[in-house]
Amino acid sequence: MNLEFLPNELLFNLFDYLNILDLFKAFYSLNSQFNPLILAHCHQCRLDFRSTNKTDFDIIYINFANRNYFPIPTVISQSLKHLSIPHISCYFKELIHLFKVTPNLQHLTINFLEYANQFKPVLSILSITHLKLSFDSSLEILHCILQNSPDRLHLTLEIYNIYMDGYQWEDMIRRYLSKLKIFRFKMRFSSLNDESKEIQSNQIFESFRAKFWIDDHQWFVRCHWYSSDEQYRLDFIDLFTLPYTFKDFLSYTGCTLAKSTCPTDDQYWSFDQVNNLCYGSSHFKSSIVSRIRFSHIEYLSLRLPFNDQFLSVVSTLDRLTLSCISVNNHKKPDNILSQMQMLLDRAPNLLSLSIFSFVKTSNFLKKH
């Protein structure tokens, strides 16, 4: 069973059984889902450093104190129009305060996290015209944020654990976002019911084939259905607009079904906006996702040896600056070394390389 596919509520329950330090060491920076959950959990905990050594203290200080404190402005800025805070989680009360002190803010990129059951829907963001939001909260709060911004022209949403069909989006846009020109979203959610993948995917796409989507706006969507565990049915679905405009593509498990509302199936397979790729060789074997092309990768997580599709899926590594490599100790070392050398030759701008292996270092060095 993969922890990534458990509901957030279960992950919070699991965190209660772990020491904060162990939680950071085991899960922090593992993926983009865990980070905001760990930070939200830490807000409810008391950190006791009395018996902590300096090395462990530095882990908390570097990863938590420096990088994940949302800066709360203390003065009003009339001139600030563009603000991007992509890697720090913002809560509802902080977001309200931010808008109060930036009355002329027009462009905002931010991560929003809120699990409170009660909130005051008092929010005025009339000045915002471009909003890019990574959102992990409730549908009610999403409605609250969107309905208070009628002048929004560009909206990009990355949403976790919420599903809205095409009719619901259409209703919200017509009511609250009538001036919207560019709309991009990615929703990750669990399967809707116990029906088959084909039946559920048809239900999803029926609402996104309406005149509002296809004829009025030419907004096309694609669905990737990922299956991780047949026993526990830990399936999840990524539904996103085309072309794919998000920075991350994290392949944790195999894609077993893909559909789109495009007129032809050979459109929008170039994912040029992605700069962070987690490539799982076994997950790209199928023809479904092996058609995707990445040409602007800067951060790459990869297991060696990789399969034949890798060099076609990732067409160039000229922009690669950071790579995290894990080595499969059950494979032949010669093949792994040759692939490692090939990666280094193809990545002239690589600045940082991390290698993880379950092979005993002494045995590996004796052979090479």
pLDDT digits (tens, 9 = 90+) for 265-282: 888 999 999 999 988 766
* Predicted confidence (pLDDT) per residue in 48-85, tens digit: 666 677 777 766 665 555 455 566 777 888 999 999 98
- The whole-number pLDDT of residue 193 equals 77
- What tokens does 18 get? 């772990």
**How confident is the model over 132-136, as a mean pLDDT?**
92
CA dist 223 → 155, 199, 245, 269 (Å): 20, 13, 15, 13
* Predicted confidence (pLDDT) per residue in 312-345, tens digit: 899 899 999 999 888 876 666 778 889 999 999 9
Read off the pTM. Answer: 0.76
* Exposure on the CB side of residue 140, measured as CA atoms within 13 A: 10
**Strands 182-190 and 154-160, bridge-based pairing:** parallel
* Predicted confidence (pLDDT) per residue in 176-217, tens digit: 898 999 999 999 988 877 788 888 888 999 999 999 999 999
**How confident is the model over 136-146, as a mean pLDDT?**
87
**How confident is the model over 34-49, as a mean pLDDT?**
66
Higher pLDDT, 119 or 78: 78
Question: CB within 8 A of 180, min separation 6: which ones?
Answer: 152, 153, 154, 155, 173
Question: CB within 8 A of 178, min separation 6: which ones?
Answer: 150
